[in-house]
Amino acid sequence: MKSAPPCGNMVWMRSGKVPYSVGLVNLGCAKNQVDGERMLAALRRAGYRVEPDAARADAVVVNTCGFIEAAKREAIGEILECARLKAQGRIRAIVVTGCLAERYRGQVMRELPEVDAVAGIGADGDIAAVVAKALGGGKPQVFP
């Protein structure tokens, strides 16, 4: 399957002209909920199909909280669950965003090699390009 960054208002699609699907796992505070909704809107505008069941998506965006220990554990648990699904071939790409990604981006990339991309706070406007690059394979990437 071929993929590439978005071109204009469309994303590259799988053979058969079926758009890639993206699921969102939203963790944390009310601000994360708002950021998650903005990301979903940006992904829809770029031509992605939003999959309500993240386990059935081509790519999963895990929008994390990272300020208290319990939130960090929850975020890492969700990322590891996505990694399990990826190992089973059920999802193709994992993108980590939010506060945990902002504060611990280097650690996330080193300690969770299953993660395809890390984008910190405020990634909602660029999320379609981040997801496209993650789906494109290759070396995991960190985005500002």
Q: Encode the chain (144 residues) as per-residue pLDDT tens digits.
A: 233 333 333 444 555 566 999 999 999 888 899 999 999 999 999 999 999 999 999 999 999 998 899 999 999 999 999 999 999 999 999 999 999 999 999 999 999 999 999 998 888 789 999 999 999 987 778 876
Domain boundaries, the chain: 21-138
* Token pair of 136 as six digits: 């494109």
Homologous superfamily (CATH) of 21-138 is Methylthiotransferase, N-terminal domain (3.40.50.12160)
Position 121, amino acid: I
**Residues near 43 by beta carbon (within 8 Å), at least 6 away in sequence:** 22, 50, 127, 128, 131
Q: Element (H or E) spanning 133, and its range?
A: helix 127-135
